[in-house]
Structure 1
Amino acid sequence: MVKEIMRDVLFLGQKAEAATKEDISIAEDLLDTLRFHREHCVGMAANMIGERKAIIAIAEGNRFTAMLNPEAVKKSPKTYKATEGCLSIPGEREVERHDWIEVKYRDMAWRKEKRKFTGFEAEIVQHELEHLEGKLI
């Protein structure tokens, strides 16, 4: 189900709680909402739809991936500056991002996964992981 976008910075600034297997429906709503906003959004965290759970979703071309309890396990030592926007907050800001990031998480079937993201997908994942920490760009 497509959900309203949360814009309350006090709510968005709170750290996410661990997701459970019962929270897969939240991940489904997050994917639906990301698909709905696809023309101007490439990633979302659950707090952006009013849920304080550690769940993110990203668009990789025409493929949409949800990650429950994602955690960065490795990051490239090399970083770069990027300018990013966010669906929940107006405007764009400069941020520093790693060239690549390796993440462990649970998939929609609650299986353990580990993936390395590079390029633009790595930037998206890093942005969404910051949402889970309550950090806003």
Structure 2
Amino acid sequence: MKFPIVAYGDPVLKKVCKNIDQEYPELQQLVDDMFETMYAASGVGLAAPQVGLPIRLFVVDTGADEDGKEGFKRVFINAEIVDESGDEWAFNEGCLSIPDIREDVMRKPTILIKYYDELWVLHQEKVSGMAARVIQHEYDHIEGKLFTDKLSLLRKRMLKSKLDNIAKGNVHTDYKMRFPKQTKKR
């Protein structure tokens, strides 16, 4: 089942999410639905708050690279970034909850992350490059942060009307969304 993606302005996107346990209802179905939703929206990561759930769960699939090398695909439950290292680098990021806005965001290139997978196996993994960037972006979601929070005050002011329009549903996407300030049915 494809979920509608929660748009910028919804309070769930600003909540620090709660850990879950092995008794979380229909967890495997939720994970499958999140991957399906992410793929349908052409994303590489999706966090539970983006489908309206304030829980510490996100999925990542960077897909195969240009050489056909297998991509990075993982389920992260109750994740905790233990360390970030290296010199910060800028990359133009976007977000399924903030369509039509892309901005350069500074992040460290290597992380050490501890998490459970969907089978409740505990992992501690060092990740670098693009996969680390995607993980950091999704991790920010479960911490109640958006990539726009990392922008300068001036840049945020310049984007304010675009962000307000997204919250009101005045944006076109190829995937279903839920808009917090939409006044009429589309």
Shift of 1:110: 0.6
TM-superposition CA deviations, 1:55-105 (whole Å, max 9, x none): 011013255321101110121132111221000013112211111111110
Residue ranges of structure 2 left out of the alignment (5+ in a row): 65-70, 148-186
Q: Could you tell me which of 60, 78, 87 is aligned with 1:69? A: 78
Say yes or no: does 1:128 pair with 2:138.
yes
CA contact (8 A) 1:102 1:116 kept: yes
Q: Which residue of 2 aligns with 1:2?
A: 2
Alignment partner of 1:128: what SS? helix
Q: Distance in 2 between matches of 1:100 and 1:120?
A: 9
Q: Which moved more, 1:47-56 or 1:25-34?
A: 25-34
CA contact (8 A) 1:31 1:65 kept: no
Q: Which residue of 2 aligns with 1:98?
A: 108
Alignment partner of 2:6: what SS? coil
Please state which structure has a larger fraction of its residues in strand. Answer: 1
Q: Could you tell me which of 37, 48, 53 is aligned with 1:33? A: 37
CA contact (8 A) 1:31 1:66 kept: no
Alignment partner of 1:82: what SS? strand
Q: Which residue of 2 aligns with 1:19?
A: 20
Alignment partner of 2:80: what SS? strand
Q: Could you tell me which of 87, 93, 110 is aligned with 2:120? A: 110
Q: Which moved more, 1:27-36 or 1:82-91?
A: 27-36
CA contact (8 A) 1:44 1:58 kept: yes
Which one-letter code corresponds to 1:28 in the other structure?
Answer: D
Alignment partner of 2:131: what SS? helix
Which of the two has higher C-alpha Rg?
Answer: 2
Shift of 1:29: 2.2
What is the Cα-based RMSD across aligned positions, in Å?
A: 1.6
Q: Which residue of 2 aligns with 1:119?
A: 129
Q: Distance in 1 between matches of 2:40 and 2:74?
A: 14
CA contact (8 A) 1:69 1:106 kept: yes
Q: Distance in 1 between matches of 2:53 and 2:13?
A: 9
Find runs of 4+ consecutive structure 1 residues off by over 4 angstroms: none
What is the TM-score with the length of structure 2 in the denominator?
Answer: 0.67
Which one-letter code corresponds to 1:34 in the other structure?
Answer: M
Q: Which residue of 2 aligns with 1:83?
A: 92
The number of aligned residues is 135
Residue ranges of structure 1 left out of the alignment (5+ in a row): none
